[in-house]
C-alpha cells in the first residue's frame, strides 16, 4: 500500500510540475513571437544581426525562471543566460527592451532589479542529487532569425535523471505534411507517462510515437541546417552504409527531437565536429525524455546513455544518436564505422 501511495504521490506532484512547465514555455514562446514580429527585419537577417535573438533569449529566460520560482522557490535552475550585459548604463537600452517584453506576459510585473535577479537564477552548476530545472530559452538562433525552426526547451531533472520535458516550437507546423498549415506545436513528456503534442491554439493533447520502422533502408535522417553543429559529410557516409536513400530533413534546434518523436523522420544524429566539445545539458534534456517516452532510444555515439548528473555539460558523452529501438543498434554500428575511421 505504501508503495502504491508513493507512486500516486509522484504522479500528482509531477502533474503540478507539468502544468507549470507548460504555462512557462507557452508564455516564453509568446514573448519570442513578439520579438520576431517587432524586431526582426530583412535587414537584420542580411547583416546577421543577432540582437533580436539576444532580446528574446533574456526575455524567455526571465519569463520561465519567474514562473518556476513562483511555484517551486527551492528548485535551482541551469539556464543558458546570465544578466551581465543587461547591467549598468551600458545595458540600459537592452534591459528596457527585455523588461518591457517580459511584463507583457507575466501576471506580476518585474522591476529592473527583479529582472536581473530572475535571469540569474539560471546560474546553478548542476549535479547528481536533488531536483533542478534546465532551460534553453531559445535553441536555434539562425532558425529564429530566418523565421524557421527554433525551440524553447525546459526539463526537470531529479537525481541526475530527466523526469519531465516541455518543448515549445512556435514555427513548427502542427502537421509537417501540411507545411503551410497551422504552426505552433508544444511537446510534453513525463517519465513513464508517454509523449504528447498539442498545438498552441488548443489544450487538447495527442499522444505521439516514433514511426514503427524495422529496417534502416526505409528510414530518413533529421539533421541540423548548419554543418557547424553536426558533420553533414559524416552523416552522408553513415546514410550510405545503412542504405538510406531518402533526403535528410534539415531543421534548426531541438525541433529535430520533436520531428523524430512524432514520426516526421526516423533518425537524428548530432555527430561531433570536435571531440573536445561538450554538449550542454539544456540542449538535450527535454528532447531526451521526449524520445524515450515516444518509444525511441537516445545515446551518444558510443552507445552510452546521456549523463545529466555531471554539471552543466554532458562531459562523459560524445555526440547524439536517436532512433527507433528496432534499428538503433544498426545505426550505432554505422556511426562507429565512420567515426572510428577518422
Active site residues: 57, 141
Set of cell numbers at residue 31 = 514573448
Backbone angles phi, psi at 229, to 5 degrees: -90, -25
Q: Which residues face 206 on adjacent strands? A: 197
In the chain the first and final C-alpha atoms are separated, in Å, by 56
Query: How many degrees, rounded to 5, is the angle at CA 232 between CA 230 and CA 234?
Result: 95
| Residue 129 grid cell | 542529487
Amino acid at each position: 500500500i505504501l508503495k502504491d501511495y508513493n507512486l500516486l504521490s509522484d504522479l500528482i506532484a509531477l502533474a503540478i510540475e507539468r502544468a507549470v512547465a507548460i504555462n512557462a514555455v507557452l508564455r516564453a514562446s509568446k514573448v519570442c513571437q513578439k520579438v520576431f514580429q517587432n524586431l526582426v527585419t530583412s535587414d537584420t537577417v542580411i547583416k546577421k544581426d543577432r540582437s533580436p535573438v539576444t532580446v528574446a533569449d533574456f526575455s524567455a529566460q526571465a519569463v520561465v525562471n519567474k514562473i518556476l520560482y513562483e511555484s517551486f522557490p527551492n528548485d535551482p535552475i541551469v539556464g543558458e543566460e546570465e544578466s551581465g550585459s543587461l547591467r549598468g548604463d551600458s545595458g540600459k537600452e537592452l534591459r528596457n527592451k527585455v523588461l518591457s517584453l517580459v511584463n507583457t506576459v507575466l501576471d506580476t510585473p518585474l522591476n529592473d532589479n527583479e529582472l536581473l535577479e530572475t535571469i540569474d537564477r539560471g546560474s546553478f552548476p548542476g549535479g547528481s542529487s536533488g531536483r533542478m530545472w534546465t532551460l534553453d530559452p531559445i535553441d536555434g538562433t539562425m532558425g529564429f532569425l530566418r523565421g524557421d525552426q527554433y525551440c524553447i526547451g525546459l526539463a526537470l531533472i531529479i537525481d541526475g535523471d530527466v523526469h519531465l520535458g516541455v518543448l515549445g516550437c512556435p514555427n513548427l507546423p502542427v502537421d509537417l505534411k501540411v507545411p503551410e498549415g497551422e504552426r505552433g506545436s508544444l511537446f510534453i513528456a513525463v517519465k513513464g507517462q508517454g509523449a504528447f503534442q498539442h498545438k498552441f491554439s488548443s489544450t487538447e493533447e495527442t499522444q505521439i510515437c516514433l514511426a514503427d520502422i524495422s529496417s534502416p533502408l526505409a528510414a530518413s535522417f533529421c539533421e541540423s541546417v548548419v554543418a557547424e553543429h553536426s558533420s553533414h559529410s559524416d552523416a552522408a557516409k553513415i546514410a550510405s552504409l545503412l542504405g538510406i536513400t531518402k533526403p535528410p530533413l534539415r531543421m534548426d534546434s531541438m525541433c529535430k527531437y520533436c520531428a523524430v518523436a512524432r514520426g516526421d523522420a526516423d533518425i537524428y544524429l548530432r555527430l561531433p565536429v570536435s571531440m573536445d566539445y561538450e554538449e550542454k545539458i539544456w540542449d538535450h534534456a527535454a528532447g531526451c525524455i521526449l524520445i524515450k517516452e515516444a518509444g525511441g532510444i537516445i545515446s551518444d555515439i558510443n552507445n552510452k546513455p546521456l549523463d545529466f548528473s555531471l554539471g552543466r555539460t554532458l562531459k562523459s558523452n560524445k555526440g547524439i544518436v536517436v532512433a527507433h529501438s528496432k534499428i538503433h543498434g544498426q545505426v550505432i554500428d554505422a556511426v562507429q564505422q565512420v567515426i572510428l575511421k577518422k
